[in-house]
Amino acid sequence: MSAVLPPSDDTAGQPLPAAIGGLDPYALDPAGLEALVAELGEPRYRADQLRGWLVRGVDDPQEMTDLPTRLRDRLAARFAPTRPELVAHTVADDGHTHKLLLRFPDGEAIETVLMLYPDRATVCISTQAGCAMGCPFCATGQAGFRRQLTAGEVVRQVVVADAALRSGVIGEQDLPDGAPTRVTNVVFMGMGEPLANLPATLATVRWLHDPDGFNLSARAITVSTVGLVPGITRLAELGLPVTLAVSLHAATDALRDDLVPVNRQHPLAEVEEAMASYRRTTNRRVSIEWCLIGDVNDDEEQADRLGAFARRLRAHVNVIPMNPTPGVRWKEPTPARVRSFVDRLERRGATVTLRDTRGRDADAACGQLLASYTLGAGSRLPASVGAADRIDATGRVALPGAGS
Ligand code: SAH
Ligand code: SF4
Stated as kind and residue range, the H or E segment containing 351 is strand 351-354
Report residue 21's pLDDT band, with 50, 70 and 90 as the boundaries: low
Report residue 106's pLDDT band, with 50, 70 and 90 as the boundaries: very high
Q: Does the pLDDT of residue 88 top 80, yes or no? A: yes
Count of beta carbons in the 10 Å neighbourhood of residue 234: 15
* Beta carbon of 131 within 6 Å of any ligand 2 atom: yes
Q: Does the pLDDT of residue 368 top 50, yes or no? A: yes
Task: With beta carbons less than 8 A apart as the criterion, state whether 391 and 330 touch.
Answer: yes
Count of beta carbons in the 10 Å neighbourhood of residue 75: 23
Which amino acid is it at 117?
A: Y
Q: What is the pLDDT of residues 214-240, one digit of tens each?
A: 999 999 999 999 999 999 999 999 999
Q: What is the mean pLDDT of residues 376-404?
A: 29
C-alpha 189 – ligand 1 centre gap (Å): 7
Q: Which residue's C-alpha comes closest to atom 8 of ligand 2?
A: 192
* Beta carbon of 133 within 6 Å of any ligand 2 atom: yes
Catalytic residue among 42, 111, 289, 332, which? 111
C-alpha 226 – ligand 1 centre gap (Å): 9
Q: Does the pLDDT of residue 11 top 70, yes or no? A: no
Per-residue pLDDT, 3 = 30
Nearest to 164 by CA among 111, 100, 105, 223: 100
What are the pocket residues of ligand 1 if the criterion is a CB atom closer than 6 Å to any ligand atom? 137-138, 189, 193, 224-226, 247, 289, 291, 320, 322-323, 325, 365-366
Per-residue pLDDT, 359 = 57
Per-residue pLDDT, 372 = 54
Residue 147 gets which letter from DSSP? E
C-alpha 28 – ligand 1 centre gap (Å): 28
C-alpha 246 – ligand 1 centre gap (Å): 10
Burial of 177 (0-12, 13-18, 19+ CB in 10 A): exposed
Strands (E), 189-321: 221-225, 243-247, 287-292, 316-321
Q: What is the pLDDT of residues 344-366, one digit of tens each?
A: 999 999 999 998 666 555 454 55
The ligand 1 atom nearest the CA atom of 192: 1
CA 157, 161, 166 angle in degrees (round to 5)?
Answer: 145
DSSP helix/strand/coil, 270: helix
Per-residue pLDDT, 370 = 59
The DSSP secondary structure of 164-225, one letter per residue, reads HHHHTEETTEEPPTT--SS--EEEE-SSS-GGGSHHHHHHHHHHHH-TTTT---GGGEEEEE
Q: What is the pLDDT of residues 311-320, one digit of tens each?
A: 999 999 999 9
Give the integer Cα–Cα distance in Å for 327 and 359: 19
C-alpha 262 – ligand 2 centre gap (Å): 10
Tell which one of 133, 195, 266 to mutate to probe ligand 2, the residue whose CB is within 8 A of the most ligand atoms. 133
Per-residue pLDDT, 379 = 30
Tell which one of 125, 127, 226, 259 to mutate to probe ligand 2, the residue whose CB is within 8 A of the most ligand atoms. 226
Q: Is 111 a catalytic residue?
A: yes
Tell which one of 291, 298, 381 to mutate to probe ligand 1, the residue whose CB is within 8 A of the most ligand atoms. 291
C-alpha distances (whole Å) from 34 to each of 15, 318, 327 are 10, 39, 48
Average pLDDT value for the chain: 85
Residue 262 gets which letter from DSSP? G
Q: Which residue's C-alpha comes closest to atom 12 of ligand 1?
A: 247
Q: Is 138 a catalytic residue?
A: no
Report residue 22's pLDDT band, with 50, 70 and 90 as the boundaries: confident
Per-residue pLDDT, 358 = 61
* Ligand that comes closest to the CA of residue 261: 2
Give the integer Cα–Cα distance in Å for 184 and 171: 20
The ligand 1 atom nearest the CA atom of 224: 8
Residue 325 — φ and ψ, nearest 5°?
Answer: -125, 135
The ligand 1 atom nearest the CA atom of 321: 24
Residue 246 gets which letter from DSSP? E
Partners of 223 in the β-ladder: 188, 244
Residue 264 — φ and ψ, nearest 5°?
Answer: -65, -30
Q: What is the pLDDT of residues 114-129, one digit of tens each?
A: 999 999 999 999 999 9
Q: What is the largest CA-CA distance in the chain?
A: 72
Nearest to 8 by CA among 304, 108, 45, 17: 17
Residue 79 gets which letter from DSSP? B
Q: Does the pLDDT of residue 10 top 60, yes or no? A: no
Residue 183 — φ and ψ, nearest 5°?
Answer: -70, 130
Task: With beta carbons less than 8 A apart as the criterion, state whether 350 and 288 touch.
Answer: no
Which amino acid is it at 273?
A: E
Nearest to 253 by CA among 360, 357, 400: 400
